[in-house]
Amino acid sequence: ESEVPSCITRKVSQYSCQRKTTLNNYNKKFTDAFEIMAENYEFKENEIFCLEFLRAASLLKYLPFPVTRMKDIQGLPCIGDQVRDVIEEIIEEGESSRVKEVLNDERYKAFKQFTSVFGVGVKTSEKWYRMGLRTVEELKADKTLKLSKMQKAGFLYYEDLVSCVSKAEADAVTLIVKNTVSTFLPDALVTITGGFRRGKKMGHDIDFLITNPGPREDDELLHKVVDLWKKQGLLLYCDIIESTFVEEQLPSRKVDAMDNFQKCFTILKLYQPGVDNSSYNTSKKSDMAEIKDWKAIRVDLVITPFEQYAYALLGWTGSREFGRDLRRYASHERKMILDNHGLYDRRKRIFLKAGSEEEIFAHLGLDYVEPWERNA
C-alpha cells in the first residue's frame, strides 16, 4: 500500500500555468469522461460546471501517475463534488453512469453533431434542436434552413473538416503559408501556433501568427495572401476580420477574450501527394474527374504588430485551459490584466513590454513553461 508522496499532491497549484502538462496522459479514462461532462454543460450554457470539469481534466492530465484509488486524489485542488463522484464510479465500475447517460442523451447527441459543423455553435444548435432536427444528415437534407456563408462551407467540406489534420498536413500547409507570405514581405515571421506548437500530432485546424519585424506594418498583407490563393484556386473559404485594436485601451478582463488582431479564418485546398490521378489509366474521362486529390483544411491566420508578438504567441499557443489560467493567475495573484495584446500592471498603472514568452512569465513571477508543457 504505497501512499502518493505528499511532495506530489501537496504542492500542486490550482493554476495550470504553474504546472507542466505534457501530452503524456496517465488518466485518459478519467479526462475523456470529464470532457464529455464539460461539453454537455457547455451545450446547456452552464459555464460554471463546464469549467469545473475542464479544470479537473487539466489537473488529471498533469498527474504523473494513473489514479487507481480515491486516496490518490486526496489533497488535490480542482476536484469538486461532481468530479469526485465521477472518479469514484470509474474507479469502482470501470465506467461512469453519469457519462453514459450524457452519451445516450438525445439533446447531447444532436448538439455534438451540429457543433461539429464549421460555423455552428450552441445558439444555432439550440434553434435547430427546437425545430426537431437531430442529425447532420437531416440538416443537409433540409433546404429551408437559412445558413451563413460559413455554415454553407461547413456542410460543403464536412467530411474533410471532421477528419483531423495530421502533422504532415500541417507541415505542408506551413510551407505554403511561408512561401506566400514571403513573396509579399520577405522579412515577415510566420510561426505555427495552437496545438501543433504544443507538440500535438493531430489537430482540428492549423493556426499561424504572422508579424513583420521593424516598424513597417502592412494592413494589406492578409488581403494579398488570400487574393493570391484565390487566383491559384486554393481558397475554398475565407473570412477576413479587420483589426479593432485601440492603443492605450486596457486589456480585456473577460476570461475567454477574443482578441482584436486582424485575422482570417480560411479553408484551404491541400493537394494530397498520395493521390495520383495520372496513375488511373482508364479510358473513361468521367471516371477520372471523380477522383478527389485534395483535402479541405481549416487554417487560421493572425497578423500582429511586432511589439505585441510575444503576447499573441502566448495566447494563440494555448491550450485554452492554460490561457484561461494565465489570465486568472495574473488578475487574482498579481493584480495584472493579461490578454493577447499585452500585460497591464494595475498597481504601477503601466503596460509591461515583452519581447519573448519568457519575459511574460517573468513579469508574472511564474517559472517558464515550454509550449509542449502547456497541454493542460
Nearer to ligand TTP, 56 or 161 (CB): 161
Interface size with ligand TTP, residues (CB under 6 A): 15
Span interacting with ligand TTP, options 18-26, 119-127, 149-157, 316-324, rule CB under 6 A: 316-324
The answer to the question of residue 167 lying near ligand TTP (CB under 6 A) is no
Residue 39 as a binder of Mn ion (CB under 5 A): the answer is no
Question: Under the criterion CB under 5 A, does residue 194 sit at the interface with Mn ion?
Answer: yes
52 part of the interface to Mn ion, by CB under 5 A: no
Catalytic residue among 207, 259, 325, 339: 207
367 is catalytic: no
Is residue 300 a contact residue for Mn ion (CB under 5 A)? yes
Minimum CB–partner distance for residue 328 and ligand TTP (Å): 14
Residue 258 vs 275, nearer CB to ligand TTP: 258
Q: Please state the closest distance from residue 211 (CB atom) to ligand TTP, in A.
A: 15
Give the dihedral of Cα atoms 57, 61, 63, 64; nearest 10 deg.
Answer: 160
Answer yes or no whether residue 340 interacts with ligand TTP by CB under 6 A.
yes
* Residue 339 touching ligand TTP (CB under 6 A): no
Q: With contacts defined by CB under 6 A, name the span among 20-28, 32-40, 173-181, 318-326 that binds ligand TTP.
A: 318-326
Residue 218 annotated among the catalytic residues of the structure:
no
Active site residue 239: no
Which one of residues 102, 209, 319, 325 is an interface residue with ligand TTP (CB under 6 A)? 319
Residues 176-205 that bind ligand TTP (CB under 6 A): 194-195, 203-205
Choice from 39, 205, 259, 339 touching Mn ion (CB under 5 A): 205
**CA-CA-CA-CA torsion for 244, 250, 252, 258, nearest 10 degrees?**
20
Of residues 32, 105, 300, 345, which has the active-site annotation?
300
The site map against ligand TTP for 15-54 (x = CB under 6 A) is ----------------------------------------
Out of Mn ion, ligand TTP, none, what residue 251 binds, judged by CB under 5 to 8 A for its kind, is: none
What's the rounded Cα separation, in Å, for the pair 302 and 250? 21
Q: Work out whether the CA dihedral 325, 328, 330, 334 comes out positive or negative.
A: negative
Residue 158, C-alpha cell as written in the block? 464536412
Out of 23, 141, 258, 350, the only residue in the binding site for ligand TTP (CB under 6 A) is 258
Going by their DSSP bridges, the two strands 294-303 and 336-338 should be labelled as: unpaired
For the bound state, the minimum distance from the C-beta of residue 95 to ligand TTP, rounded and expressed in Å, comes to 25
**Contact residues for Mn ion (CB under 5 A)?**
194, 204-205, 207, 300
Give the residue numbers annotated as catalytic, written as ranges.
205, 207, 300
Interface positions with ligand TTP (CB under 6 A): 194-195, 203-205, 207, 258-259, 315-316, 318-320, 323, 340
